[in-house]
């Protein structure tokens, strides 16, 4: 497959088709609508299921029902729509059903605007739905990564029977750049043992997130937490640059991780010992690697398009051993590399006195 | 002396032998049995998926001997949509109460019907929220006392009951929309026949089918079982007339 110019939203949609997605349910919302539009054509061409739901509430419950059949299904939305889906996501989490969700994040709170944002970090990594659960969250920083993470999302969802969120921001969804799509993977014909397929020659399968017995429901919770612990141990992903001798570690993901890379390169050219760690999984957060790096760095700078949400996770990872600074823009504002460079220089200047 | 024994009445294969949690005299047991008999008679059990609601019938998955799941409150038609689209040869049923279908889930049922989803909805209307202990439902009659309308439903404050079958019948995607009641034997038999037709409509792939069943709630109405059946006949049936609100031409031969 050759590289082609692809828009992020379209790339994710096409990657999902090629990952063997058999059903998509969604509702229009900017800045992810091209994803839904692309699938309204492609899913029909492939003789698969596309339904434009009456709301995000219905869309996520269609996903829940469809995923109960054991087939690959997905929905996509943007921040306000993801808020509406929290109810369904909580039920899905309580039922151990593999599901892929795309959140092309926009400015909030409320209706906010349609510009790029990372204001849903807490919502997607903690999940605002009721009860104890945390999905796997993948944060692409390029159109290519958006494609690769879409394939990975389906694989991880099935491997752990878990929710996987692709947390892209509006910038990733809307921009075009060269990327390579994978070859078409045909949908699997295997029916998982837990799926609803009709109680023929076996006792009925039942899928539910419901248990009136307190002790039994605690067991359900323990099982969910055991799975999350396994995910934490196995699935932390990140990329890093110039960390070997860095005094200052910049941490940023998605679009801000990418802009921060430009700032870090300039800082290096200017002789500053600055490195970058870009988490690719926001959950599980790459705690282990950041904790390891903490032994050698003197300070940390977190860069996000929100008021400082991943900041909490970085602080937990460094465990108070080094100071953690923060630079961010909010409400749809995207930082320029120069702004981040200034923040890097200011944070670095503090080290000179140390 | 050998007395020849013959089984003349037994549990349908589509029901498990679990004891239900329903209150004595509750209509859910009758409705369950009618659905199960219909599934048996149409030989559908092994390819049926039941979507249970939130409400008194939340445990329906435990009573029907079919693959099942429990939807979030009101979302059963959306869940059923997802399943049926991927398993078009299966029979997908939602079983919903009036709080579930006519209040919190009114958007989902309306749009499932409008899309002409090839699913069947069994809608049990007993004019009250049973599971939470007898609060006012969208179907509670004017003047009816509940724990959240203690002076009787005041239409100035709480508005009017919703007649769902009449509304659903207006949608082009609906193929078979009827209201029945289980307050006496004759009506129970009519209800069974309607459930059979609704399932046949789904099997034929014609579109959306729903059977609204007027039922009783002796516990939350504060009546004996017998009184509650009389109350259905004397109070609910006049407000919610029984009958066929839509039988699309292509479904007539299935009646």
Complete DSSP assignment for A207-259: E-S----HHHHHHHHHHHHHHHHHHHHH---EEEES-TT-SEEEE--HHHHHH
Whether residue B78 and residue A23 make contact (CB cut-off 8 A), yes or no, is no
Question: If residue A342 lies in a helix (H) or strand (E), which one and from where to where?
Answer: helix A337-352
pLDDT 10s digits, B134-163: 999 999 999 999 999 999 999 999 999 999
C-alpha dihedral (B148, B152, B153, B154), degrees to nearest 10: -120
Determine contact: A205 vs chain B, CB below 8 A. Answer: yes
Write the ipTM.
0.96
Hey, what domains does chain A have and what are their CATH numbers?
4-234 (3.40.50.970), 238-352 (3.40.50.920)
Give the lowest-confidence range in A80-89, A124-133, A305-314, B47-56: A124-133
Hey, what domains does chain B have and what are their CATH numbers?
28-254 (3.40.50.970)
Give the pLDDT of residue A212. 87
Give the pLDDT of residue B165. 98
- Which of chain A's residues have a Cβ under 8 Å away from the Cβ of B47? 198, 200
Give the pLDDT of residue A353. 67
pLDDT 10s digits, A149-191: 999 999 999 999 999 999 999 999 999 999 999 999 999 999 9
Whether residue B48 and residue A198 make contact (CB cut-off 8 A), yes or no, is yes
Confidence at A352, pLDDT banded by 50, 70, 90: confident
pLDDT, average across residues A314-330: 97
Give the pLDDT of residue B60. 96
B 25-54 residues with CB < 8 A to A: 45-49, 51-52
- Which of chain A's residues have a Cβ under 8 Å away from the Cβ of B105? none
pLDDT 10s digits, A245-296: 999 999 999 999 999 999 999 999 999 999 999 999 999 999 999 999 999 9
Give the pLDDT of residue A347. 96
Determine contact: A200 vs chain B, CB below 8 A. Answer: yes
> Which residues of chain B have a pLDDT value below 50?
none
């Amino acid at each position: 497959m050759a590289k082609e110019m692809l828009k992020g939203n379209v790339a994710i949609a096409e990657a999902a088709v090629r990952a063997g997605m058999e059903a998509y349910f969604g509702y229009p919302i900017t800045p992810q609508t091209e994803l839904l539009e692309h699938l309204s054509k492609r899913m029909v061409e492939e003789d698969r299921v596309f339904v434009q739901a009456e709301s995000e509430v219905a869309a996520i419950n269609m996903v829940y029902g469809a995923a109960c059949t054991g087939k690959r299904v997905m929905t996509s939305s943007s921040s306000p729509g993801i808020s509406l889906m929290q109810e369904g996501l909580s039920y899905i989490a309580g039922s151990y059903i593999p599901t892929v969700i795309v959140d092309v994040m926009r400015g909030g709170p409320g209706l906010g605007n349609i510009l790029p944002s990372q204001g849903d970090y807490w919502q997607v990594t903690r999940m605002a739905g009721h009860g104890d659960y945390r999905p796997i969250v993948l944060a692409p920083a390029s159109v290519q990564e958006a494609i690769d993470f879409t394939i990975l999302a389906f694989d991880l969802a099935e491997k752990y029977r878990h929710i996987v969120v692709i947390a892209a921001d509006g910038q990733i969804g809307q921009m075009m750049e060269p990327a390579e799509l994978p070859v078409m993977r045909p949908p699997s014909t295997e029916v998982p043992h837990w799926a609803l397929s009709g109680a023929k020659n076996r006792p009925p399968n039942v899928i539910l997130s419901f248990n009136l017995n307190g002790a039994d429901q605690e067991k359900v919770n323990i099982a969910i937490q055991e799975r999350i612990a396994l995910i934490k141990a196995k699935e932390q992903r990140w990329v890093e640059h110039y960390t070997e001798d860095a005094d200052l570690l910049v941490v940023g993901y998605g679009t801000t991780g990418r802009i921060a890379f430009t700032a870090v390169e300039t800082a290096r050219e200017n002789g500053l010992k600055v490195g970058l760690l870009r988490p690719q999984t926001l959950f599980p957060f790459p705690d282990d690697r950041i904790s390891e790096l903490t032994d050698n760095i003197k300070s940390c700078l977190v860069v996000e398009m929100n008021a400082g949400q991943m900041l909490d996770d970085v602080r937990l990872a460094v465990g108070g051993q080094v100071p953690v600074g923060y630079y961010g823009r909010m409400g749809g504002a995207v930082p320029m590399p120069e702004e981040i460079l200034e923040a890097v220089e200011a944070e670095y200047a503090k080290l000179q006195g140390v | 002396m050998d007395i020849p024994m013959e089984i003349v009445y037994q549990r349908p294969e589509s029901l498990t032998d679990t004891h239900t949690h329903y209150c004595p005299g509750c209509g859910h047991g009758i409705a369950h049995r009618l659905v199960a008999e219909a599934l048996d008679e149409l030989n559908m059990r092994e390819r049926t998926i039941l979507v249970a609601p939130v409400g008194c019938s939340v445990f329906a998955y435990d009573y029907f001997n079919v693959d099942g799941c429990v939807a979030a409150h009101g979302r059963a038609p959306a869940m059923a949509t997802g399943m049926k689209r991927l398993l078009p040869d299966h029979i997908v049923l939602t079983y919903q109460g009036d709080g579930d279908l006519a209040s919190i889930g009114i958007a989902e049922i309306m749009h499932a019907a409008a899309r002409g989803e090839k699913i069947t909805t069994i809608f049990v209307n007993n004019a009250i929220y049973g599971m939470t202990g007898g609060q006012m439902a969208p179907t509670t009659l004017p003047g009816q006392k509940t724990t959240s309308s203690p002076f009787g439903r005041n239409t100035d404050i709480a508005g009017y009951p919703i007649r769902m079958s009449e509304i659903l019948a207006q949608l082009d995607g609906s193929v078979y929309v009827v209201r029945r009641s289980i307050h006496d034997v004759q009506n129970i038999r009519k209800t069974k026949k309607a459930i059979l037709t609704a399932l046949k409509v789904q099997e034929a792939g014609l579109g959306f089918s729903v059977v609204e069943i007027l039922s009783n709630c002796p516990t939350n109405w504060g009546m004996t079982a017998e009184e509650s059946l009389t109350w259905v006949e004397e109070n609910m049936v006049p407000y919610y007339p029984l009958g066929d609100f839509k039988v699309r031409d292509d479904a007539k031969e299935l009646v």
